[in-house]
Amino acid sequence: MNSVIFNPLEEFEGKYKNLHFEKTDAFFNELVKHSGVNIEENRATVKEYNEYRENLKKLKKKLTLFKVLRVLMCITVILIPLVILKTTPKIKALKSEIELADNKAEELLSLANRQMAPLNALFTDRDATALIEATIPNLDFESCFSAKQEEDMKINYDFYEFGGEEASTVDVLAGHYNENPFLFENKLVHTMGTETYHGYKTITWTETYRDSNGRLQTRRRSQTLHATVVKPKPFYSTQVVLNYCAQGGPELCFTRDATHLERKSEKEIERYVKKGEKRLKRKTDKAIGNNSDFTSMSNTDFEVLFDALDRTNEVQFRTLFTPLAQTNMVDLILSKTSFGDDFNFIKMKRTNQIVTNHSQGRPLILTAGNYYSYSFDVISANFIGKNVGFFKDVYFDFAPVWAIPIYQERPVHSLKPIPDYARIYSAKECEALANAAPMEYLVHPDTKTNAILKARYVDTRERVEETVITAYSYDIEGRVDYVSVYGGDGRFHSVAVPWDEYIPLEAQNSFYIAEEGIVKNKNAIAVRNGLNIYSAN
């Protein structure tokens, strides 16, 4: 096997980080050379543009001060016509100077954009993934998540629908590592929860009392009554997850959660491990009493820090976590130079899900637009900096599975064959494309919330695929409940509590999906990764 990553953390620092930077820098320099842009000419233009913008700020500030001064002088001085006579010409002159400077700045900005246009035009959405592939040869990214790969993952790797009908795929990035399929997925997840609504009512009453002399007196009292109601409410969140498929441990399931132990001191970690060792002993003793097969490994540091104690198959767990895999995992968890223990690891038979904190909220790919600028130096910083950051994010998403040597082996080619479907694109790819389209094409017209989009395949004709997108969303109607609250006047009062009722909505629409250029005389409502989606209505 070529390019095996024996120690993900050590090899990132000692090899891959620098190798990726060198390839990124060389690739960018080649683009610059091919574009033919004049770097020094652009720098001079940008410098002059920045000077004009800085001068504009000063002039506008000066103009504001003159306007304020004129107002103040008019308020405090009797000779108002004289004040206006003296300040107005200066204000007019400043306005004229600002207009000239603004026009000149716009001309320089336009020139700088033209100077950088040949370089900006060379960037593609594939640059970032191509650079990662060049750095790690075993890693291959696909242009889209095909129906064939999706079926392979389901049939041969126990891949399951994460979130089911309560989640919609917003973005995907699929590929293979040494022929093991993987899928990065950005999900919009819907959950039902509750919201507490509050209502208030102020009451007043007259109270009779005796003063210090024993005489009867009256006084006005007031109180603000508070009432609450709890009602159902939908909540939406996003999650980026790496689904990595491998044949190792085919019946094994376990989960472990991130603990960010790298933030603790050595003494705190020692105490954490000692406390965990006691928990391990109790679990082992209980397993013996119940005649179950759980047995703690001799490497208690690994057992406590990785904390996958809900594992379902001891033999397969030990087959995966060899001494090298245990060492690699502990190094990752305690590392202060990477992201440390920021990863959740869920193994469901032959599918492994990695959810890292550092990748939540990030785009799954770097598009060409991430690099654009009118300034060569900004373009350079964007391209190098964003690709370096993107590589580190992706590398340490894979690191927990690369820490297990058996997961880097090629799959055995005795897998079940994939039926030859007419379908081209996976349901998740269709959902991602639909999520890129304006929502008015997809949702019920009364929708006032986010929508969960689900795709259903219909037919394929001449490489054009028809799919039905079902959008689940909510309308919102204002309601009022009246809650009886006991007041200080000795009476119950009805307190109004406004709340929102979320009314489920559903809409179905048909769409066509095809590669750019295949469908003629149709206006695409969204374009993504070279695919277009068209309304069939």
Contacts of 419 (CB under 8 A, 6+ apart): 151
Q: What 3-state DSSP class applies to 68?
A: helix
What span, in angstroms and rounded, lies between the C-alpha atoms of 374 and 411? 47
Question: What does the pLDDT look like over 244-272, one tens digit per residue?
Answer: 999 999 999 999 999 998 888 889 999 99
- Angle between helix axes 80-120 and 39-76 (nearest 10 degrees) is 160
Q: Answer for the pair 32, 119: CB distance below 8 angstroms, yes or no.
A: yes
For the chain, count helices (H), then strands (E).
12, 12
In a domain, 305, yes or no: no
- Mean pLDDT throughout 100-104? 78
Question: What does the pLDDT look like over 299-315, one tens digit per residue?
Answer: 999 999 999 999 999 99
In a domain, 477, yes or no: yes
What span, in angstroms and rounded, lies between the C-alpha atoms of 332 and 410? 24
In a domain, 433, yes or no: yes
* Domain count within the chain: 2
Question: What does the pLDDT look like over 407-447, one tens digit per residue?
Answer: 999 988 666 788 777 899 999 999 999 999 999 999 999 99
What span, in angstroms and rounded, lies between the C-alpha atoms of 354 and 116? 40
Q: Are strands 216-245 and 343-348 parallel, antiparallel or unpaired?
A: unpaired
What span, in angstroms and rounded, lies between the C-alpha atoms of 389 and 396? 11
The predicted structure's pLDDT at residue 490: 92
Q: Give the model's confidence band at 91: pLDDT under 50 very low, under 70 low, under 90 confident, else very high.
A: low
Task: Examine the pLDDT at 487 and tell me if it is beyond 90.
Answer: yes
Q: Give the model's confidence band at 296: pLDDT under 50 very low, under 70 low, under 90 confident, else very high.
A: confident
Question: Of 54-68, 195-209, 379-393, which range is least confident?
Answer: 54-68
Task: Examine the pLDDT at 278 and tell me if it is beyond 90.
Answer: no
Residues of the domain holding 70: 36-120
In a domain, 25, yes or no: no
In a domain, 462, yes or no: yes
Question: What does the pLDDT look like over 336-363, one tens digit per residue?
Answer: 889 999 999 999 999 999 999 999 999 9
Task: Examine the pLDDT at 59 and tell me if it is beyond 70.
Answer: no
The predicted structure's pLDDT at residue 86: 56
Domain boundary among 74, 90, 120: 120
In a domain, 422, yes or no: no
Q: Answer for the pair 383, 32: CB distance below 8 angstroms, yes or no.
A: no
Contacts of 382 (CB under 8 A, 6+ apart): 370, 371, 372, 373
Closest to 5 measured CA to CA, from 518, 396, 412 = 396
Percentage of the residues of the chain whose pLDDT score is greater than 70: 91
Domain boundary among 96, 120, 144: 120
The predicted structure's pLDDT at residue 82: 47
What span, in angstroms and rounded, lies between the C-alpha atoms of 390 and 354? 17
The predicted structure's pLDDT at residue 1: 41
In which element (H, E) is residue 24 found?
A: helix 17-35
User: How many degrees, rounded to 5, is the angle at CA 109 between CA 108 and CA 111?
Assistant: 65
Percentage of the residues of the chain whose pLDDT score is greater than 90: 72
Closest to 406 measured CA to CA, from 316, 481, 336 = 316
Task: Examine the pLDDT at 276 and tell me if it is beyond 80.
Answer: yes
The predicted structure's pLDDT at residue 529: 82
Type of residue found at 102: D
In a domain, 284, yes or no: no
The predicted structure's pLDDT at residue 380: 97
Contacts of 511 (CB under 8 A, 6+ apart): 434, 466, 467, 468, 469, 533, 534, 535, 536
Q: Give the model's confidence band at 521: pLDDT under 50 very low, under 70 low, under 90 confident, else very high.
A: low
**Conformational region of residue 438, where left means phi above 0, alpha means psi within -120 to 50, and beta covers everything else:** beta
Task: Examine the pLDDT at 67 and tell me if it is beyond 80.
Answer: no
Question: Model's pTM, two decimal places?
Answer: 0.88
Average pLDDT score over the chain: 90
User: How many degrees, rounded to 5, is the angle at CA 149 between CA 473 and CA 519?
Assistant: 65
In a domain, 295, yes or no: no
- Mean pLDDT throughout 287-296? 75
Report the side by side order of strands in the sheet with 253-256.
Answer: 139-141, 167-177, 180-210, 216-245, 351-356, 343-348, 253-256
Type of residue found at 235: F
Hey, what are 441's tokens? 């094409």
Question: What does the pLDDT look like over 104-161, one tens digit per residue?
Answer: 888 999 999 999 999 999 999 999 999 999 999 999 999 999 999 999 999 999 998 7
Domain boundary among 120, 144, 159: 120
The predicted structure's pLDDT at residue 178: 94
In which element (H, E) is residue 18 found?
A: helix 17-35
The predicted structure's pLDDT at residue 98: 73
